[in-house]
Amino acid sequence: MSQASRRPNRVHIIQGDCYVTDESDTVLTTVLGSCIAACMRDPVLGIGGMNHFLLPGEGERAKQNEAERFGVYLMELLVNGLLQRGATRHTLEAKLFGGARTVQGFADIGAKNFEFARKFLDNESIRYAGGSVGGDQGRKLEYQPSTGKARQFLLPRSTVEPPQPVIQRPAPAELGNVELF
């Protein structure tokens, strides 16, 4: 089969997952709302990967077996996975995607996720190469680690509204239940 007709190897990254590869034909995909996907690579060696985290860097307060939901854990996992495959820390670059505010009226977790990811990259001296974050729409993302190319497809805006409080009104009192003083 010729290189031109060869289909890429597609790997879908779910929430709490991380994947690193050095295969040039691999495309990593995910679907994001307020979550963040960090797409990181060593452009010299063509080694790269993606993670998908739900919450910012508060993993130290997580219950046992929940660390994979947190950015601090998944960012470390991604960096270490790249270094184990031969990547060099000073050549790493990262793109960030997601962080949408998909439900109005609640805390903006997407913004907190992005803020955490940017601080992590700064603290680790990893070059931020852009991406697409924020807004009020989810994204479907495709990332090719060997080239660093990313494509996103915006999803329809969410119609999810925060739940409205239910006001409980007491039943009208019957005459026999009223006490007058």
Known catalytic residues are: 35
Torsion 86-13-35-67 (CA) sign = negative
Torsion 145-146-149-152 (CA) sign = negative
Q: How far is CA 154 from CA 25, 129, 140, in A?
A: 24, 20, 6
Environment class of residue 120 by beta-carbon count within 10 Å: exposed (0-12), middle (13-18) or buried (19+)?
A: buried
Q: Using DSSP, state whether 37 is helix, strand or coil.
A: strand
Tokens representing 124?
A: 């680790």
Q: What is the spatial order of strands in the sheet that 36-42 belongs to?
A: 18-21, 47-51, 36-42, 93-98, 127-133
